[in-house]
A and B are shown apart, each in its own frame.
Chain A
């Protein structure tokens, strides 16, 4: 079935690293994504990883994928106050090539 789970809240201090976790249940995912949503706004595509990859790095962002455990994580290095937002994990399934299935989102709070 299609089920993506995330923890609801994470608080970090400015300058520290943030790690946001996601677990999914369907092993037929082709792509896994991280989107960022600021209050009252749409979703911003941050990064994505193809399911045959283990890691992807893009500037301050590092995505790790553990297919065996169906676990995806997003690490944000040197977290800034502008990183405060809700982060959604999402996946696209093999054969659908259309709809994204999202988790419930993790609210990241960055404190001074």
Chain B
């Protein structure tokens, strides 16, 4: 399978716990994006990497959220001290610089905070 993969697919946690999600982009893609989708809404942009550099962050990305892409390949999104409002689907997408307009999405990680 050469598409974008995300792990885990589902995560249930208690309020106050930390969680980490992983995204593996399509191998030749140097751009990687994180989006968040709440029930009944369209995805909202969180942050974007080109190679290992984090180039843009949304105001939605509070200081409890941190994203990394240390080697320019896979990325992790960590949420510290989770809150019930963090419950959502976290989507990862990737693209290639020369075809940046084509973003391909992974299946998402559904987070439920109890």
Residues of A within 8 A of B (CB): 4, 30-31, 35, 40-45, 48, 88, 90, 92, 96-105
Q: Is the CB of B102 within 8 A of A104?
A: no
Give the shortest distance, in Å, between A58 (CB) and chain B (any CB). 14
Q: Which 6 A-B pairs have the closest CB atoms?
A: A102-B42, A99-B45, A42-B105, A43-B105, A42-B107, A31-B101
**SS of A interface (majority):** strand
Q: Are B105 and A99 in contact (CB under 8 A)?
A: no
Contact B103 A102 (CB under 8 A): no
What 1/0 mask marks residues of chain B from 78 to 114 whose CB sits below 8 Å from any chain A CB? 0000000000000101000000111111111010000
Most buried by B among A42, A43, A90: A42
Query: In the bound complex, what is the Cα–Cα distance between A98 and B56 (angstroms)?
Result: 8
Query: Known: A97-B100, A99-B56, A104-B40. Is A44-B45 also a contact (CB below 8 A)?
Result: no
Which residues does B use to contact A, with CB under 8 Å? 4, 6, 31, 33, 35, 40-45, 48, 55-56, 58, 91, 93, 100-108, 110
CB distance from A10 to the nearest CB of B (A): 16
Q: Which residue of chain A is the closest to B44 with respect to CB atoms?
A: A102
Contacts A/B (CB < 8 Å), 16 sampled: A41-B108, A42-B4, A42-B106, A42-B107, A43-B91, A43-B93, A44-B105, A45-B102, A90-B42, A98-B33, A98-B55, A98-B100, A99-B58, A100-B33, A102-B44, A103-B42
